[in-house]
Amino acid sequence: MSTFRVIGTRQRKLDGRDKVTGRTAFASDLRLPGMLAGRILRSPHPHARILRLDVSAAEALPGVQAVVHAGNVRQRPFGYGADNLPLKAGKVRCAGDEVAAVAAEDEETAARALELIEVEYEVLPAVFDPYSALEPGAPLVHDERRDIEGNVSMRWDFEHGDVEAASREAAVVVEGLYSSPLSAPASIETHVCLASFGSEGQLDVWTGVHMVSMYRKALADTLELDWRQITVHQPPIGGSFGGKIDIDPIDFITVLLAARARRPVRIHFSREEEFVGSRVRQPMHIRLRTGADAEGRLLFRDADVVSDNGAYNAWGSHALLVVMQTISSLYRVPNCRVRSQVVYTNKAYGGSVRGFGNPEATFAVESQTEELAEALGMDSIELRLKNANQSGDLTPQGMRITSCGLGQCLETVRRQSGWSERRGRMRALRRGLGAAAYVHVGGGARIYPSDGCGSILRIDEAGRVTLVTGASELGQGSETVLAMVVAEALGVPLGAIRVLNQDTEVKPWDVGAHASRTTFVAGNSARLAALELREKLLETAAEVLEVDAADLELDDGQISVRGSPGRSISYDRVARRRLLRQGGSMLVASTFYDPPTEPQDGRHVGNISAAYGFGAHVAEVEVDLETGLVAVLNLWCAHDVGRALNLAGVEGQIQGGAVMGLGLALTEELGIGDGHVLQPSPREYGMLTARGVPPLHLSVVETLDPEGPFGAKGVGEAGLIPVAAAVANAVADATGCRPRSYPLAPWKLLGWLREAQQPRNRSR
């Protein structure tokens, strides 16, 4: 069917071999002459007033070049609601809050200097639970904020249709409260920031951030610097999963230290500090009510969401945007109401971890879908198919569904898992099957005036094709897929393409790597640039071959006259002929692609993405009733990816997502005790290892999206979204006991099983 030469093949990552052989230089491998080691002093208290700070002994320690704290730097508040400061002033609001920092000749001196800083705190009552935080008289995390009520930092409300009326009409209504845990992105590479001022005031920063343009702006705004003087360098990133998406106190503090020391400074988080000082996936509590008619047509959804935001508003405060979409738009929901509160607590605060609200909301919606099916006496996949979105739908939030493979994905996992024969029939074996589907933005997400990405594509005299892209490679394989897009659209061999992922001096604008948008947005941008260059190549080839450009074809680097196979010339010779002559010209194309989307309006309506991705999973589990251990035996995953550009990359993303989803479903939770992270180590935190991964059965459904590059849609987060829901549903099938929160820790499961023996009362 496809006449593509590169698109649709399996290509290993172009940057992979250097990475696995240890040749790649990450940020932590960089050294600048005179570079100092920076360290941050963190609050030991989850909530306290800073009464006195004395850095004189630290400053006096030989080898210390700078000590910074709120009293000796210029800093402005940052974050949504301007509720955060790089170095905290007056009060700390979570354990780990940044109070001071030092830069010294070596790490040991910096560590000793931290011990010499004297801080006197007045410990304040703290609040760790969002429901307690909502109670009258609860300690106020941000008592300085006059613009909010109590601890509610934001509300995200949506209403469509008439939920009350629909509620009265419904034949069946189910209700439940679904909770997700505090978890961590836990990438292999920890946070590193290296900052250096030049003698003319120019600032160079090296960091693993993947929203470099907005990072630069935030750095300038908060530290009152001229952003034209700032260059943000993006060395290869050792994973992020959203943990490095944008700016953090580490970045500001590194720059403040470099400014004060007048030397380059690097801060490099230890593994422990990575858990304590980085953003987390905040817990969510979703009380959901769904009603349907007797035939199983959804009539309404009504949701009350409490987001356990933590101490400050970072990206996590906006995950409610996504929660709302899953509730309103995974299925056809004619009436919908969502009320969400973002609640401050004295804890680690939420960032934009992979999935960003999707797994949490999907857990609620897809757990309830199976409960609803049960109540209706229907098969849950049938119920899903009946209510599934179709191409051409416009959802209550204004999402225009173009390509849509949800039905095909559901049918695929149903068939492959033996659902119809096995579901509900293995309880004796303590085995069960559970399904879950998802909807996700697949064509960018307009969260900023521009959701675009620029490309500058050049063919040099050697025939090397260089793509300077705004996109960020963070291990997800974007460079490989962009090279493939260019190779295909331009018609040259993949080996000729180099993708450059450099600094803000060279990189064009891109809003950043988030929302699974890179293949779609940067891919379209690269494709347009390649098509423009292809025209120029053919134009020059036509001159050389003395034919009309329309009679030429370009394939695998060879330009030939259609029908005259002997008359041909290679693209690199054409590039030389064009460039290396009197009055020559370069083969350069610069393009900018901004997807045809709308920002959401004040009512949260707007076609936020140019395409939507869909998929469905079925999990098979076996539950040990004595220990409470859940073993996932199989996971069937079918994803509508539009078109798989790099089959190996798409499968890798889905597999990686699925494994991350399994970790969330089964083991990952960042425990907090008295406001402190209890297990700041990867092993104790509960990340899965390769041994914990069950057989994954992947199916790629290609719906050929009309707007996507070669029909592709984003797939970066998809794999993890429905996993917890599918596993929980399988546990319910295996045991008759319905989990209402994850991870499915054995002690929790044993508790539920005991409870299930008693009369039904599983509210929170």
What's the CA gap between 571 and 559, in Å, rounded? 6
Residue (251 or 451) nearer to its own copies, CB = 451
Q: What is the DSSP letter of 580?
A: S
Residue from 504, 560, 646, 703 that binds its own copies (CB under 8 A)?
Answer: 504
Minimal distance, residue 571 CB to its own copies, in Å: 12
Closest CA to 659 of 325, 186, 214: 186
- Show the tokens assigned to 273: 């500090």
Residue ranges in 182-211 that form contacts with its own copies under rule CB under 8 A: 198-200
Residue ranges in 29-58 that form contacts with its own copies under rule CB under 8 A: 29, 31-33
Q: What is the DSSP letter of 429?
A: G
Residue (16 or 239) nearer to its own copies, CB = 16
Given the rule CB under 8 A, which of 90-98, 498-506, 653-661, 666-674 is the region that contacts its own copies?
498-506
- Give one DSSP letter per residue of 135-153, joined into a string: STTPPPTTTT-TTSBTTEE
Closest CA to 457 of 586, 327, 644, 289: 586
Residue from 590, 634, 655, 679 that binds its own copies (CB under 8 A)?
Answer: 590
Residue from 579, 631, 687, 750 that binds its own copies (CB under 8 A)?
Answer: 579
Minimal distance, residue 244 CB to its own copies, in Å: 21
Residue ranges in 447-476 that form contacts with its own copies under rule CB under 8 A: 448-450, 452, 454, 456, 458, 460-464, 466, 468
Residue ranges in 516-575 that form contacts with its own copies under rule CB under 8 A: 572
Sheet holding 192-197, edge to edge: 64-69, 98-104, 36-42, 265-268, 192-197, 203-207, 230-233
Residue from 270, 585, 681, 689 that binds its own copies (CB under 8 A)?
Answer: 585
- Give one DSSP letter per residue of 626-650, joined into a string: TT--EEEEEEEEEEE-SS-SSHHHH
Contact 66, 257 (CB under 8 A): yes
| Alpha helices (H) in 667-722, listed in sequence order | 682-685
Does 26 interact with its own copies (rule: CB under 8 A)?
Answer: no
Does 637 interact with its own copies (rule: CB under 8 A)?
Answer: no
- Taking every pair of Cα atoms in the chain, the longest distance, rounded to a whole number of angstroms, is 89
- Show the tokens assigned to 381: 């996949």
Peptide bond into 743 cis (omega under 30): yes
Tell me which amino acid residue 87 is. Answer: L
Residue (118 or 535) nearer to its own copies, CB = 535
CB atoms within 10 A of CB 535: 11
Given the rule CB under 8 A, which of 39-47, 154-162, 292-300, 490-498 is the region that contacts its own copies?
490-498
How are the residues of the chain apportioned to helix, strand and coil, as percentages rounded to the nearest 5? Answer: 30, 25, 40
Does 224 interact with its own copies (rule: CB under 8 A)?
Answer: no
Does 268 interact with its own copies (rule: CB under 8 A)?
Answer: no
Residue (151 or 504) nearer to its own copies, CB = 504
**C-alpha 18: how far from chain center:** 25
Half-sphere exposure for 40 (CA within 13 Å, toward CB): 35
Residue from 280, 496, 542, 644 that binds its own copies (CB under 8 A)?
Answer: 496
CA angle, corner 562, sides to 556 and 565, nearest 5?
70
Minimal distance, residue 142 CB to its own copies, in Å: 30
Residue from 111, 506, 625, 678 that binds its own copies (CB under 8 A)?
Answer: 506
Residue ranges in 421-450 that form contacts with its own copies under rule CB under 8 A: 446, 448-450
Residue (590 or 679) nearer to its own copies, CB = 590
Element (H, E) at 329: helix 320-329
How far is residue 487 from each of residues 440, 457, 498, measured CA to CA in Å? 28, 12, 10
- Give one DSSP letter per residue of 289-358, joined into a string: EEEE-TT--EEEEEEEEEEEEESS-SGGGGTHHHHHHHHHHTBT-SEEEEEEEEEE-SS--B---TTTTH
What's the CA gap between 299 and 721, in Å, rounded? 24
Closest CA to 470 of 479, 461, 462: 479
Residue from 598, 674, 684, 755 that binds its own copies (CB under 8 A)?
Answer: 598
Residue from 52, 146, 228, 760 that binds its own copies (CB under 8 A)?
Answer: 228
Residue from 75, 592, 679, 753 that binds its own copies (CB under 8 A)?
Answer: 592
Given the rule CB under 8 A, which of 538-546, 587-595, 664-672, 756-764 is the region that contacts its own copies?
587-595
Residue (327 or 587) nearer to its own copies, CB = 587
Helix (H, G, I), strand (E, B) or coil at 79: coil
Minimal distance, residue 584 CB to its own copies, in Å: 5
Contact 441, 613 (CB under 8 A): yes
Does 17 interact with its own copies (rule: CB under 8 A)?
Answer: yes
Size of the site for its own copies (CB under 8 A): 61
Residue from 90, 495, 695, 751 that binds its own copies (CB under 8 A)?
Answer: 495
In the complex, which residues of this chain contact its own copies (CB under 8 A)? 14, 17-18, 21, 23, 25, 29, 31-33, 198-200, 213, 216-217, 220, 227-228, 230, 446, 448-450, 452, 454, 456, 458, 460-464, 466, 468, 495-496, 498, 500, 502, 504-506, 508-509, 572, 579-586, 588, 590, 592, 594, 596-598
